[in-house]
Chains A and B, each alone.
Chain A
Amino acid sequence: MDKLIIDPTVFTPKVILDHEEHFMEIGGESRPQDVREFYHPVVEWMNDYSQRLLDSDDIRDPVVINFNFNYFNSGSAKCILDICKILAKLRSREIDAFARWHYEKGDDDMLEAGREIARIVNLPFEFIESEMR
């Protein structure tokens, strides 16, 4: 299994998926022309990673994904949902997993968007306010 690191562009977010450090983050702006194409490797990686966790019998850390968006379009929203569902599945297998939703101070829309996703999936969300960039 390899790490998946994608540098941000004007239309696509930064992705850091690191199984060795157990660190996962997706953030920035997400409005790719072809949402499926962009998120396909991300979802694949998440599936592999969660399979690995299920296969191993020694998991101590909670599994945390960090979302740190300042914009995502509605197509990306569906992919974010899919990623959350993969983690929700881990919870159903009694692995502690949750999402950390970072939003800029005062960005009510982004906070609300996170809450909405949280309401839909069976995954706890931790909301973290950050200072203005």
Chain B
Amino acid sequence: MRSFAGFVSPDEFRKSRSAIVAKYLYDNLRRISRFSPTGFRSGKKFEDLGEKKKRFWVEYSSGIADKLMSFDLFLRPFSDYCRTCIITDEEMEALVSNDLDKFARDSPATDNNLFFPELNHLIPASLREAGLEIIRQLELDAVEESLLVRIARVVHAGYLSETARQTPVSSLVERSLMKGFDDLSHEILQSNIDFAVHLPTRLLAIGYRIRPVRKGYKSRVLHLDEYEVETMAKVEHLRWSWEKRINGWTYGKVKDVRKKAHPDLVPYGELSENEKEKDRALVRLTPALLRDIRYEAYPVAPGKISRLSYAVKPRSSIHKLLDGINELSAGIGPLAENTPSIRAKLTSIDEKIKLSISEVQGSYNYARHIQEAFLPDALDIRECFPESFILYEPKDIISGDFYLFNRHNGKVVFALADCTGHGIPAALISTIGYGILDQTVNILRVTDPAEALNNLFMGIHRFLRKDKAGSGASDDMAIVLGSFDLNTNILSFTGVCNMVFHVTGGKISDNLSGISHENYHNNDRYDFAVKSLRLDPGDKLYISSDGFSDQFGGGNHQRYTRKRLREFLLKISNNPMPEQGDLLYEEFERWRDEKNRDEDQTDDITIIGISI
């Protein structure tokens, strides 16, 4: 089980916090039940409940930490400000259905379908009262805490400052961080701070992190397109909703300050256009806000945030097609206004296209899910090489690249393969390839690179070409396969295309990978040349498929080239390994979108970096 410094483990929570949270939950629900249908009613205070009735509440709340953890949400005590993260509507639905499976029979409610959603919406507020905030694990390294107060100050000073007019900003912010939670003007202040501290969250939703602008550098200017504004507006609404709820607000048909009821505590989609526009206007200020705090946004690899529930999913070419269709139908719509038969036909075609696209996309997404399930995850890789990174970006949701890491008997065997083409055909071959290589390395424990590669190619040959006369498997896959001896620091590897670079003593090698082995195939055996390399502590090894170097861009439809990649790798080779992955992605984005050309991704991209 994973744990983080300062976090409350589920056991700890059960032992020392859940009883009080049970009481707060009960009290909160009882309070809102007076004016809002919650499927629950009780005249008694928590303290006056019989043991039997109390039991549901205690049992329910003792499972809260476990339940949240299954969504990568962790509990942490806060001192002055509760930074609870946003929880999406989809996650709430999952939490509710989880409850219905577990507690429906023992629930004290008259209507479980009202009761459990209300209960779940009250959890963050009740935790807050117990001194706990909810932190999303994926946000941890993206959000630097010392920065948050600074952002809050700037927000106050420049953008949302009505309440701060007469008082010096800094003292207001500090006071608001210290003071209790009972007075309303304080709540408005608090709201501004909450808006500010979630700036990194909103940017993460569209694939950006932030960092200080380095001295002497010109900062990157963030341009938000409508799609990004809309995504951030949704997240902002979610943020606002949670901020309200954490302060005890709930949904009500009309706004009522005394009852703490608000009509806008609904999903973003149900807001009026006017309200949505307010959210959009707020998030459009983001680039200006960044400039004021001397921070800049830089792109994160979509692969890194694919598990972040509120983040934009990787934009595939399918997605862009859908955008095109939407634009087209918005344009044609008015033209067909006066001809009902054409308009009807248009609507029906439009719906069919959207349905087909969403089906294709759904099936791609599920395929990606499968691919992610079999590929080693970041932890597996760090077990083999603690100092390492992997940049893995499919061109269209699923990838024809795959990689493998295995540590056994003092040896690490690893591989990076690039199957011919991209998309579905390449992903199919990569699945077969991964299966055979996994069998070879993880079950048969083959550690000799040439032997392992021979096994792999013979296996693929058997699968794909039953005839002997075929031209061999060489055209299906480019691969680098290495075996690193942890005792002697000797790397032996063999490569068929792809790239291998070795950085040592401030210099980078030429590409060390071999070429296609077509000529060496004879008598049902491939002979691969194995190279040996001694890796000294501090040396770096980079392995790459050709997707990065073949990327078109540079404002002039030029390929990035291996030469540039080699030089760039050398340039960043002294940075911490995980950061190098980020820098590579940023460089890729810069090249792809230079002069706003927005070139499509050319091919699947994978780069592995290892520090010895």
> Interface residues, chain A, CB within 8 Å of chain B?
31, 33, 35, 70-71, 73-75, 77-78, 81, 107-109, 112, 116, 119-120
Interface positions of B from 504 to 552, Cβ below 8 Å from A: 515-516, 518-519, 546, 549-550, 552
Q: A120 to B496, alpha carbons, bound, how many Å?
A: 13
Q: Is the CB of A75 within 8 A of B420?
A: yes
Q: A74 to B421, alpha carbons, bound, how many Å?
A: 6
Q: Is the CB of A71 within 8 A of B550?
A: yes
Q: Is the CB of B559 within 8 A of A70?
A: yes
Residues of A within 8 Å of B423, CB to CB, are 33
Q: A31 to B547, alpha carbons, bound, how many Å?
A: 13
Residues of A within 8 Å of B563, CB to CB, are 108-109
Residue of B with least CB distance to A34:
B425
Q: Is the CB of A109 within 8 A of B559?
A: yes
Nearest-neighbour CB distance to chain B for A116, whole angstroms, equals 5
When A116-B516, A120-B516, A120-B518 are in contact, do A78 and B420 touch as well, CB less than 8 Å? Answer: yes
Residues of B within 8 Å of A35, CB to CB, are 421
| Among candidates A73, A107, A109, A119, residue contacting B421 with C-beta atoms closer than 8 Å | A73
| Among candidates A31, A107, A119, residue contacting B602 with C-beta atoms closer than 8 Å | A31
What is the total number of residues of chain B having a CB less than 8 Å from a CB of chain A? 22
B562 at the interface (CB under 8 A from A): yes
Q: A116 to B498, alpha carbons, bound, how many Å?
A: 13
Nearest-neighbour CB distance to chain A for B565, whole angstroms, equals 10
Residue of A with least CB distance to B603:
A73
B418 at the interface (CB under 8 A from A): yes
B456 at the interface (CB under 8 A from A): no
B75 at the interface (CB under 8 A from A): no
Residues of B within 8 Å of A107, CB to CB, are 559, 561
Q: A74 to B550, alpha carbons, bound, how many Å?
A: 11
Q: A36 to B478, alpha carbons, bound, how many Å?
A: 19
Residue of B with least CB distance to A121:
B518
Nearest-neighbour CB distance to chain A for B417, whole angstroms, equals 12
Nearest-neighbour CB distance to chain B for A40, whole angstroms, equals 16
When A107-B561, A120-B518 are in contact, do A74 and B602 touch as well, CB less than 8 Å? Answer: no
B380 at the interface (CB under 8 A from A): no
Contact with A along B328-344 (1 / 0, CB 8 A): 00000000000000000
Q: Is the CB of A74 within 8 A of B559?
A: no
B475 at the interface (CB under 8 A from A): yes
Q: A43 to B552, alpha carbons, bound, how many Å?
A: 28
Residues of B within 8 Å of A33, CB to CB, are 423
Chain A binding surface, main DSSP class: helix
Q: Is the CB of A119 within 8 A of B561?
A: no
Residue of B with least CB distance to A108:
B563
Residue of B with least CB distance to A74:
B420
| Among candidates B418, B519, B561, B603, residue contacting A108 with C-beta atoms closer than 8 Å | B561
Q: A77 to B421, alpha carbons, bound, how many Å?
A: 10
Query: Could you jot down 17 A-B contacts, CB within 8 Å?
Result: A31-B603, A70-B559, A71-B550, A71-B552, A71-B602, A73-B420, A74-B418, A74-B420, A74-B475, A74-B478, A75-B420, A107-B559, A108-B561, A108-B562, A109-B550, A109-B559, A120-B518
Nearest-neighbour CB distance to chain B for A107, whole angstroms, equals 7
Chain B binding surface, main DSSP class: loop
Interface positions of B from 552 to 598, Cβ below 8 Å from A: 552, 559, 561-563
Residue of B with least CB distance to A35:
B421
Nearest-neighbour CB distance to chain B for A34, whole angstroms, equals 9
Nearest-neighbour CB distance to chain A for B398, whole angstroms, equals 14
| Among candidates B418, B519, B549, B559, residue contacting A120 with C-beta atoms closer than 8 Å | B519
Q: A58 to B482, alpha carbons, bound, how many Å?
A: 54
Residues of B within 8 Å of A71, CB to CB, are 550, 552, 559, 602
Residues of B within 8 Å of A75, CB to CB, are 420-421
Nearest-neighbour CB distance to chain A for B420, whole angstroms, equals 4
- List of 10 A-B pairs having minimum Cβ-Cβ separation, nearest first: A78-B475, A74-B420, A75-B421, A75-B420, A120-B518, A116-B515, A109-B562, A109-B561, A108-B563, A120-B516
Residues of A within 8 Å of B602, CB to CB, are 31, 71
Q: Is the CB of A77 within 8 A of B475?
A: yes
Q: A75 to B475, alpha carbons, bound, how many Å?
A: 7
Q: A107 to B559, alpha carbons, bound, how many Å?
A: 9
Residue of A with least CB distance to B547:
A73
Nearest-neighbour CB distance to chain A for B345, whole angstroms, equals 29
Nearest-neighbour CB distance to chain B for A33, whole angstroms, equals 7
Known: A71-B559, A73-B420, A116-B516. 18 other contacts (CB 8 A): A31-B602, A71-B550, A71-B552, A73-B421, A73-B603, A74-B418, A74-B420, A74-B421, A75-B421, A81-B475, A107-B559, A108-B561, A108-B562, A109-B562, A109-B563, A112-B562, A119-B515, A120-B518
Nearest-neighbour CB distance to chain B for A29, whole angstroms, equals 9
Q: A78 to B72, alpha carbons, bound, how many Å?
A: 45
Q: A71 to B557, alpha carbons, bound, how many Å?
A: 11
Residue of B with least CB distance to A117:
B516
Q: A74 to B270, alpha carbons, bound, how many Å?
A: 48
Q: A35 to B425, alpha carbons, bound, how many Å?
A: 11
Residue of B with least CB distance to A116:
B515
Q: A51 to B146, alpha carbons, bound, how many Å?
A: 76
Nearest-neighbour CB distance to chain B for A36, whole angstroms, equals 10
Residues of A within 8 Å of B559, CB to CB, are 70-71, 107, 109
Nearest-neighbour CB distance to chain B for A122, whole angstroms, equals 10
Q: A119 to B518, alpha carbons, bound, how many Å?
A: 10
Q: A33 to B478, alpha carbons, bound, how many Å?
A: 19
Q: Is the CB of A109 within 8 A of B549?
A: yes
Residues of B within 8 Å of A78, CB to CB, are 420, 475
Q: A78 to B418, alpha carbons, bound, how many Å?
A: 14
Q: A70 to B423, alpha carbons, bound, how many Å?
A: 22
